[in-house]
């Protein structure tokens, strides 16, 4: 048996011993030969979601009509928010579902900046999701108060030296905002340590949990985090464009305001008072009528993660990223790939980036001809996302096998480097 065959046997053994293996059956898998490695971008469809949606459409909307607002819809942002709170180490009344991640970043960043009127520096890093940086740039533009963004730079475009972050924090820093798991390299920040460092300088912290919620244990209360936001369509399997969530620490709530005053954030929306009175609950960060269908369609994905248990998911994810990196070292590195993800498991989330100067065209062949779906992030990162709810070890072996084939027959040379709209 060759080394590579040995690795296949190992994958089969690991799958047979996997205590979470049964959860794969909870997802729609129409084509078992398709290796889906993009659950870090859009999670798979839980089977239950189809039933929930059918019920919401047929019974709640179709039959109960507007009465469903009272029955089940009006309090859904808090009810589902309380479930997400359990995943991020917060109290049920500290998390609410609303809007998109980008809008929640705007609301919480503006709220935080208003709490520190005497300071005007925002610190973030070059690893942050560009939309987050655009939103922050927009906040500075809107405030017209000399606010400036300082970008923390990394030495190697993969990891960040935690202690060096203190060099960027000073008495003028109002807000430090970072993604707990960064979208390209998958680097995982030490939230507790960095939050402490920011607080020691009197700054507030806002964490983007989009790439960590549902894949990494999160303890917002224990870590003393002020604000957090995140999306639900990646590891939470909430569906395309599913609404996002936001967290505000309970003791800050009566001192912060949303910059967008909408009727759903009012203490009593149905009083139809002509003056806004913010709710004294986390609801003050709501704006307008939520998209009920996508909100309720997202709930089964959250339930499944809670049932599987985040510690078990993390354990499997670490095992799987380690297995994939071992395969990478032996079988892909010699083909001209470099690893774009930290080697130490405690420094990475649940995706592995592999880099190659022809990364874009290689990803295209994987998708078009090899039935392996990763995604591509400029300039050369092929992201292989592992969602331990449904990714098997054998999927990782098959993905590497198919990547080797792509490199052998050099089929990627037949493809254009011109980028598609969505990569």
Ligand X SMILES: Cc1ncc(COP(=O)(O)O)c(C=O)c1O
Contact 378, 422 (CB under 8 A): no
Q: Which stretch binds ligand X (CB under 6 A): 97-105, 146-154, 368-376, 398-406?
A: 97-105
* Inter-CA distances, 98 with 34, 214, 242, 277, Å: 33, 18, 9, 19
- Reply yes or no on whether 316 is catalytic: no
Q: Which one of the listed residues 129, 227, 360, 393 is annotated catalytic?
A: 129
Among 179, 185, 215, 317, binds ligand X (CB under 6 A): 179
Look-up of token digits 């859009």 = 42
* Interhelix angle 292-308/47-55, nearest 10 degrees: 140
Least separation, in Å, of the C-beta of 399 and ligand X? 22
Q: Is 93 marked active-site?
A: no
Task: Indicate if 284 belongs to the active site.
Answer: no
- Closest CB to ligand X among residues 94, 99: 99
CA gyration radius, the chain: 22
- CB closer to ligand X out of 119 and 348: 348
**137: contact with ligand X by CB under 6 A:** no
208 included as an active-site residue? yes
- Of 210 and 381, which has the nearer Cβ to ligand X? 210
Of the candidates 121, 184, 234, 361, the residue annotated as catalytic is 234
Q: Select the span of 24-32, 129-137, 293-301, 347-355 touching ligand X (CB under 6 A).
A: 129-137
**Shortest distance, position 294 Cβ to ligand X, whole Å:** 11
Query: What's the CA gap between 246 and 231, in Å, rounded?
Result: 9
Residues 201-260 that bind ligand X (CB under 6 A): 208, 210-211, 231, 244
CB of residue 54 to ligand X, shortest distance in Å: 25
Taking the complex as a whole, how short is the minimal distance between the CB of residue 161 and ligand X, in angstroms? 21
Which residue is catalytic, options 27, 183, 189, 233?
A: 233
268/287 Cα distance (integer angstroms): 13
The answer to the question of residue 191 lying near ligand X (CB under 6 A) is: no
Among 23, 27, 183, 264, binds ligand X (CB under 6 A): 183
Long-range contacts of 409-415 (CB under 8 A, 24+ apart): 411/365, 411/369, 412/358, 412/361, 412/362, 412/364, 412/365, 413/361, 414/365, 415/361, 415/364, 415/365, 415/368
Binding residues with ligand X: total (CB under 6 A): 13
Q: Please write down the HEC assignment for all residues of 22-54.
A: HHHHHECCCCCCCEECCCCCCCCCEHHHHHHHH
- Does 102 help bind ligand X (rule: CB under 6 A)? yes
Q: Which two tokens stand for residue 390?
A: 């449904």
Binding mask of the shown chain, residues 10 to 49, with x at each position contacting ligand X by CB under 6 A: ----------------------------------------
Q: Which is nearer to ligand X, 341 or 370 (CB)?
A: 341
Residue whose CB is less far from ligand X, 244 or 325: 244
Distance CA 373, CA 387 (A): 13
Q: Are strands 173-179 and 121-125 parallel, antiparallel or unpaired?
A: parallel
Q: Are 244 and 104 in contact (CB under 8 A)?
A: yes
| 129 catalytic residue (yes or no) | yes
Q: Is the Cβ–Cβ distance between 20 and 312 less than 8 Å?
A: yes
Please identify every residue annotated as catalytic.
129, 208, 233-234, 383
Rule CB under 6 A: which residues touch ligand X?
A: 100-102, 129, 131-132, 179, 183, 208, 210-211, 231, 244
């Amino acid at each position: 048996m060759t080394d590579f065959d040995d690795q296949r046997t190992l994958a089969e053994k690991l799958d047979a011993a996997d205590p979470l293996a049964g959860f794969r059956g909870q997802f729609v898998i129409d084509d078992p030969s398709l290796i889906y490695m993009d659950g870090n971008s859009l999670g798979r469809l839980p089977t239950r979601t189809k039933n929930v949606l059918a019920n919401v459409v047929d019974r709640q909307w179709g039959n109960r009509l507007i009465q469903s607002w009272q029955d089940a819809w009006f309090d859904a942002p808090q009810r589902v928010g309380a479930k997400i709170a359990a995943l991020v180490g917060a109290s049920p009344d500290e998390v609410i579902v609303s809007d998109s991640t980008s809008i929640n970043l705007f609301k919480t960043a503006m709220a935080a900046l208003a709490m520190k009127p005497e300071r005007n520096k925002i610190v973030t890093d070059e690893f942050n999701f560009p939309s987050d940086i655009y939103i922050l740039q927009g906040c500075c533009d809107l405030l017209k108060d000399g606010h400036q963004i300082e970008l923390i730079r990394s030495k190697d475009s993969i990891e960040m030296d935690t202690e060096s972050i203190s060099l960027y924090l000073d008495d003028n820093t109002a807000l430090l905002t970072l993604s707990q798991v960064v979208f390209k390299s998958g680097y995982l920040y030490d939230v507790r340590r960095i939050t402490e460092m920011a607080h020691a300088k009197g700054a507030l912290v806002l964490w983007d949990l989009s790439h960590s919620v549902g894949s990494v244990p999160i303890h917002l209360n224990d870590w003393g985090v002020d604000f957090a936001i995140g999306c639900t369509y990646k590891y939470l399997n909430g569906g395309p464009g599913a609404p996002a969530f936001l967290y505000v620490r309970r003791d800050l709530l009566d001192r912060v305001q949303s910059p967008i005053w909408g009727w759903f954030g009012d203490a009593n929306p149905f009083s139809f008072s002509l003056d806004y009175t913010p709710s004294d609950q986390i609801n003050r960060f709501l704006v307008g009528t939520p998209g009920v269908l996508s909100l309720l369609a997202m709930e089964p994905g959250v339930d499944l993660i809670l049932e599987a248990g985040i510690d078990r998911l993390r354990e499997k994810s670490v095992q799987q990223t380690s297995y994939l990196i071992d395969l990478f070292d032996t079988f892909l590195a010699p083909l001209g790939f470099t690893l774009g993800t930290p080697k130490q498991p405690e420094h990475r989330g649940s995706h592995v980036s592999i880099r190659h100067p022809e990364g874009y065209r290689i990803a295209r062949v994987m998708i078009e001809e090899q039935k392996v779906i990763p995604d591509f992030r400029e300039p050369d990162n092929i992201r292989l996302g592992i969602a331990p709810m449904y990714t098997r070890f054998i999927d990782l072996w098959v993905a590497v096998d198919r990547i080797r084939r792509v490199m052998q027959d050099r089929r990627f040379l037949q493809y254009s480097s011109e980028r598609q709209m969505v990569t």
